[in-house]
Amino acid sequence: MNRYFHNVSHIEYRPDAGPEDTLVWKHYNAKEVVNGRPMEDWFKFAVSYFNAFRYMGGDDYYGERTHQHNRDWEDKSEYRPCYKLSDSAQTALPQGSTFGTGARGHQRTASSGTLLSPGGRGGQWAKSGYGGSLQYYKQRMEAAFEFYQKLGVKWYTACDRDFSPEFDTWDETCRHLDEMVNMACQLQKQTGVKPLYFSADLFSHPRYMNGASSNPDANIYAYACAQVKKALDMAKRLNAENFVFFHPRDGYQHPHRRHWFRDMSHLAFMYRMACQYREKIGYRGQFLIQPKPHDPRRHQYESDAMSTMHMLRHFGLEKNFKLYIKPASSCMMGRTYEHDAYVANAFRLLGMLDASDSNREVQGTSDCHAKDSRGATYIMKCVIEQNGIQPGGFVLGGRLARESFEPKDLFHGHILTMDTYARALKSAAKMISDGIFNRYLTQRYISYKSAIGKRIENKSCTFEECEVYVKKHGEPKAESPHYEHWENMFNYYVWGTWACSGTGIGIMQRPRSFSKDKHSFDKYDSSRYGKYGYGYGDRSSSRQQGYGMYGGYEADRYQPGSYGFGGYDADNRYGPMGYGYGSDRYDARTQGYSGYGMDGYMDTGMDQKVTGMEVMVVMGVIGMDPWDMDMERIHIAQEEMDIVVMEWIVIALQDMGMALIGMDLKDMVMVMINMDPWDMGMDQINLVREHMD
The string of DSSP letters for 218-285 reads HHHHHHHHHHHHHHHHHHHHHT-SEEEEE-TT-EES-GGGS-HHHHHHHHHHHHHHHHHHHHHHT--P
Whether residue 123 lies inside any domain: the answer is no
- Does residue 643 share a domain with residue 561? yes
- Rounded to the nearest integer, the mean pLDDT of the chain is 71
- The confidence score (pLDDT) of residue 267 equals 93
Q: Is 529 helix (H, G, I), strand (E, B) or coil?
A: strand
- Does residue 320 share a domain with residue 418? yes
- Does residue 426 share a domain with residue 464? no
Residue with the larger pLDDT of the pair 316 and 522: 316
| Mean pLDDT along residues 164-177 | 93
- Does residue 428 share a domain with residue 459? no
Which of the four pLDDT bands, split at 50, 70 and 90, describes residue 624? low
Cα torsion angle, 511, 515, 519, 523, sign: negative
- Does residue 243 share a domain with residue 370? yes
Q: In the predicted model, is pLDDT for residue 161 greater than 70? A: yes
- The confidence score (pLDDT) of residue 531 equals 34
Least confident of 188-197, 218-227, 409-418, 651-660: 651-660
Cα torsion angle, 412, 415, 420, 421, sign: positive
Model confidence pLDDT, tens digit, residues 548-596: 333 333 333 333 333 333 333 333 334 333 333 333 333 333 333 333 3
| Mean pLDDT along residues 312-316 | 94
- Does residue 290 share a domain with residue 190? yes
Where residue 376 sits, what CATH number does that domain have? 3.20.20.150
Q: In the predicted model, is pLDDT for residue 30 greater than 90? A: yes
Whether residue 15 lies inside any domain: the answer is no
Expressed in angstroms, the distance from the first to the final Cα of the chain is 37
- The confidence score (pLDDT) of residue 591 equals 36
| Mean pLDDT along residues 346-367 | 79
- The confidence score (pLDDT) of residue 37 equals 92
- Does residue 412 share a domain with residue 283? yes
Nearest to 66 by CA among 413, 400, 412, 417: 400
Final residue belonging to a domain, choices 387, 411, 433: 433
Q: What percent of the chain has pLDDT over 70?
A: 58
Whether residue 520 lies inside any domain: the answer is no
| Mean pLDDT along residues 626-631 | 54
> Phi and psi dihedrals of 259, rounded to 5?
-95, 105
- The confidence score (pLDDT) of residue 660 equals 38
- Does residue 451 share a domain with residue 417? no
Whether residue 210 lies inside any domain: the answer is yes
Nearest to 375 by CA among 506, 490, 496: 490
Final residue belonging to a domain, choices 433, 459, 485: 433
- The confidence score (pLDDT) of residue 50 equals 86
- The confidence score (pLDDT) of residue 285 equals 95
Whether residue 10 lies inside any domain: the answer is no
Separation between Cα atoms, residue 201 and residue 230, nearest integer Å: 11
- Residue 356: count of CB within 10 angstroms of its CB: 25
- Residue 16: count of CB within 10 angstroms of its CB: 8
| Mean pLDDT along residues 220-246 | 96
Most confident of the ranges 180-184, 521-525, 612-616? 180-184
| Mean pLDDT along residues 218-231 | 96
Q: In the predicted model, is pLDDT for residue 15 greater than 80? A: yes
- Does residue 429 share a domain with residue 450? no
- Does residue 375 share a domain with residue 297? yes
- Does residue 554 share a domain with residue 475? no
- The confidence score (pLDDT) of residue 95 equals 40
Q: Which range marks the domain in which residue 682 is found?
A: 542-691
Q: In the predicted model, is pLDDT for residue 21 greater than 60? A: yes
Whether residue 506 lies inside any domain: the answer is no
| Mean pLDDT along residues 110-137 | 48
Model confidence pLDDT, tens digit, residues 184-213: 999 999 999 999 999 999 988 999 988 899
Least confident of 17-21, 565-569, 666-670, 688-692: 565-569
Least confident of 94-103, 149-158, 231-240, 423-432: 94-103
Degrees (nearest 5) of the Cα angle 645, 650, 653? Answer: 115
Q: In the predicted model, is pLDDT for residue 359 greater than 90? A: no
Most confident of the ranges 277-291, 502-516, 667-681? 277-291
Residue with the larger pLDDT of the pair 11 and 661: 11
Q: In the predicted model, is pLDDT for residue 618 greater than 90? A: no
Which of the four pLDDT bands, split at 50, 70 and 90, describes residue 401? confident
DSSP 486-521: HHHHHHHHHHSGGGGSSSPSS-----S--BTTTTBB
Whether residue 522 lies inside any domain: the answer is no
- The confidence score (pLDDT) of residue 356 equals 82
- Does residue 229 share a domain with residue 366? yes
- The confidence score (pLDDT) of residue 252 equals 76
- The confidence score (pLDDT) of residue 103 equals 34
> Full-prediction pTM beyond 0.85?
no
| Mean pLDDT along residues 403-416 | 85
Least confident of 2-6, 167-171, 243-247: 2-6
Number of domains in the chain: 3
DSSP 567-619: ---TTTTB-TTSS-B-TTTS-GGGTTTTTEETTEE--SSSSS-B-HHHHHHHH
Which of the four pLDDT bands, split at 50, 70 and 90, describes residue 689? low
The answer to whether the beta carbons of residues 164 and 183 sit under 8 Å apart is no
Which of the four pLDDT bands, split at 50, 70 and 90, describes residue 652? low
Q: In the predicted model, is pLDDT for residue 101 greater than 50? A: no
Model confidence pLDDT, tens digit, residues 464-482: 999 999 999 999 999 898 9
Separation between Cα atoms, residue 341 and residue 222, nearest integer Å: 32
Whether residue 579 lies inside any domain: the answer is yes
Separation between Cα atoms, residue 114 and residue 326, nearest integer Å: 35
